[in-house]
Structure 1
Amino acid sequence: MYKILVIEDDKKLCEFTKEYLGRYNYEVFSINNFKKVEEEFEKVKPDLVLLDINLPYYDGFNLCRIFRRKSKAPIIFMSARGSEVEQIRGLEIGADDYITKPFSFELLLAKVQASIRRIYGEYSEDSLQVFEVNGITLDKNTFKMSYGNKSIDLTKNELKLISKLLKNVDKVVTREELLEELWDESSFVDDNTLTVNVTRVKNKLNEIGVENVVKNKRGIGYYITFQE
């Protein structure tokens, strides 16, 4: 469930927004103390922010700059300031979108969903730099794979292979898909090279205590499973 933080001092609008987005399975938070917006942001750690510009004690533009230094969460301004200059300013300082009041909640929902898809979903550029599946943690920043208290370094190709397999647990990933993942064009490398790289991945999994999870579907590809 994605967490949305609504930073809006119009109490009615804030409550209506929380109620409406809550119907669509979002966990929605609002600001209780506008003197401590930064602290509440840190506490919630939202996946998306809906941000007004005219706020008590703070200016929304300044908050946007502060949030952007701390988080990659999409920020959508919702403001009565409808001029093109204001909208451009908001986007230039790091916001992802801008919606002008008054607006329909259907349009707001569409913008929220589009931002979440872009950053976290089907349109994201593999945005998760650290992710965990069944106790195996991959860190794309350090090229490390960890399990329990053991970790091991991965090559770039090994990281790509295990990432692809872990994102498709119990699903066969074809050899062609894996070759394209590694080199973009499958014609640039032969099947033997892929086999060697998969073997290396298996060996490194074994070294950190994860044994016999990578399986071969003969003539088709590979898959990873944690089922006995």
Structure 2
Amino acid sequence: MFKIMIVEDDSKIRTLITDILRKYSYEVVEVADFLQVEQIFEQELPHLVLLDLNLPYYDGFYYCRVFRRKTTVPIIVISARDEESSQVLSMELGADDFIVKPLNIQVLLAKIMAILRRNYGEYAAKPEPEKEPLPIHLDDRNFSISCNGMVEELSKNEYKLLKKLMDKQDTIVSREELLEELWDDVHFVVDNTLTVNVTRVKSKLANLGFQDVIKVKRGVGYIFDSAMAGGARQ
């Protein structure tokens, strides 16, 4: 259940919004003590904040700054101020949307649903799983690769090639992408030149105990197999 915090000093509007949101199965936190807004926010940790601009003690612009310093929680500003400058300033201070009073409840609900879906639901960015650190160390100061005290020197292009593959480990990197990474003008590069560089890098990896870490995907490109790199470390 999503928790929505309402920071609105007009009790009639606050009650109206609260009743509607609870009918739609949202958990609602009503702020009635406007000297405790920050404390309530930190205690409740809402999924979304509905924020008025005209408030006792501190205005909504102040709380936009405060909330943004602490979290990325979505903020919808609800205000009678319909001038463009208030809307622009609200967005610049971190608000995600702005609704002008008098409220259209259906519009408010639609915006709440869209923002919650975007931030927590099907459209939310999914964190990538953390990858285990590779046992291979690339040194950009002297273009070398090392593991367990053993070091192999690399040419500049060999270094760039291996770094590209390691940065995109377990993902196929096309020959075209590698060619563009290594040479500014690929039109004057013999296609076999890339193959030669890959072969040299694979040989140097093998000298460090990493066999078959770089795999060839015929007609497509190359892939750096992190599982093979981890296995070689054992």
* RMSD of Structure 2 on Structure 1 (CA): 3.2
SS of residue paired to 1:35: coil
Question: TM-score, with normalisation over the residues of structure 1?
Answer: 0.59
Task: Give yes or no for contact 2:78–2:100 (8 Å, CA) kept in 1.
Answer: yes
The one-letter code sitting in structure 2 at the alignment partner of 1:115 is: I
Q: What is the rounded CA distance, in whole Å, between the counterparts of 1:25 and 1:182 in structure 2?
A: 43
Distance 1:196 1:115, change over 3 A: same
Letter in 1 for 2:43: K
The DSSP-based 3-state class of the residue aligned with 2:54 is: coil
Residues 34-113 of structure 1 correspond to what in structure 2 (within 5 A)?
34-113=34-113
Gaps of 5+ in 1: 130-139, 144-152, 157-180, 201-228
Identify the residue that residue 120 of structure 1 maps to in structure 2: 120
1:183 counterpart = 2:198: no
Work out whether 1:154 is the aligned partner of 2:142: no
With over 3 angstroms needed to count, the CA separation of the structure-2 counterparts of 1:32 and 1:182, relative to structure 1, is farther
Name 1:210's counterpart in structure 2: none
CA distance in 2, matches of 1:48, 1:25: 14
SS state of the match for residue 32, structure 1?
A: coil
Q: Which has the larger radius of gyration?
A: 2
Q: Equivalent residue for 1:16? A: 16
Aligned equivalents of 1:42 and 1:57: distance in 2? 19
Shift of the 186–46 alpha-carbon distance from structure 1 to 2, 3 Å rule, reads farther
Give the Cα–Cα distance (whole angstroms) in 1 for the partners of residues 172 and 15 of structure 2.
48
Q: Aligned to 1:54, what secondary structure does the other structure show?
A: coil
**Cα pair 2:78 2:101 within 8 Å, conserved:** yes
Conservation of the 8 A alpha-carbon contact between 2:9 and 2:32: no
Q: CA deviation at 1:195?
A: 9.0
- Describe the shift of the 1:107–1:40 C-alpha distance in structure 2 as closer, same or farther (beyond 3 A): same
Instruction: Please list every run of at least 4 consecutive aligned residues from structure 1 whose deviation after the TM superposition is greater than 4 angstroms.
Output: 184-190, 193-198
Among the aligned pairs, what percent are the same residue?
A: 43
Q: 1:194 to 1:95 in 2, by over 3 A?
A: same
| Distance in 1, Cα, partners of 2:97 & 2:34 | 23
Q: 3-state SS of the aligned residue for 1:78?
A: strand
Q: How many residues align?
A: 156
Q: Distance in 1 between matches of 2:107 and 2:170?
A: 39
Equivalent residue letter for 1:46: P
Change beyond 3 A, Cα 1:103–1:186: farther
